[in-house]
Structures are given as C-alpha cells and as structure tokens.
Amino acid sequence: EAQVTQNPRYLITVTGKKLTVTCSQNMNHEYMSWYRQDPGLGLRQIYYSMNVEVTDKGDVPEGYKVSRKEKRNFPLILESPSPNQTSLYFCASSLSPGSGSTDTQYFGPGTRLTVL
C-alpha cells in the first residue's frame, strides 16, 4: 500500500530536549516536505527536499532541521524545542517537484507535538 508514515503520532516533551520525528514514504517519490498546522493559520511549510541530499527552507524553518540521506526518509529534527513549536506536523511527498507541478502530494497521518 502506498503511504507516508510518521512516528511518533503523539509526543509530549519539555523545553530544550532534542527530538526527531521520522517520515518515510514507499512510493519512490523525489519530493518530500514538512508542514505544521496551527489553528487559524492553515498549513505552513517548514522545509522541503527535491531529492537526496537536497533540502531547502520553507516559510517557517526557524528552530528546525532536516536531512535527506535516503530517498524514502525525511526526518524532522528539533534541536532545542520551545513551547511555540507545539503544533500538528505533517510530512508529505510527491513524485516530482517543480514549477507548475500538478502531482498529488501524499500526506502522512500527522504528529501532534506538545512542548511544555
């Protein structure tokens, strides 16, 4: 089954304690992306990756890191989480990026993060 998986689904942590949210897709997609969803703000892109070893900042990258060592995996790293990073996070992937791309983006089930 084609899917994007994220782990963990729920996480409560404390300020400053490093954490990683994993994302994996089994569709051989080149493009992967992380979003955060906040009430009244919709989804905002954090980072994206066009392919292995190619990553770039989205709209709200501060406080986050990513890596793309393998095509299927795109982990999101919070080196020193703060309460303003409490949010619902989604990973997404699609076949190809690029201007005017109409490829469907496939979303993971989401990770609800609470930083105390």
Closest CB to other proteins among residues 24, 33: 33
Tell me the residue type at 55.
Answer: T
Residue with tokens 């060592």: 69
* Least distance between other proteins and beta carbon 26 (Å): 15
Tell me the window of 16-24, 50-58, 66-74, 77-85 that interacts with other proteins (CB under 8 A).
50-58
Alpha-carbon distances of 110 from 20, 29, 43, 49, 99, rounded to whole Å: 14, 19, 12, 18, 26
* Least distance between other proteins and beta carbon 7 (Å): 13
Q: How many residues does the chain have?
A: 116
- Please report whether residue 10 would count as binding other proteins according to CB under 8 A: no
Tell me the residue type at 111.
Answer: T
Residues 52-111 interacting with other proteins (rule: CB under 8 A): 56, 58, 90, 92, 97-102, 104-105, 107-110
The residues pairing with 20 across neighbouring beta strands, listed in sequence order, are 77
The tokens for 91 are 């990973």
Residues that bind other proteins (CB under 8 A): 4, 33, 35, 40-45, 48, 50, 56, 58, 90, 92, 97-102, 104-105, 107-110
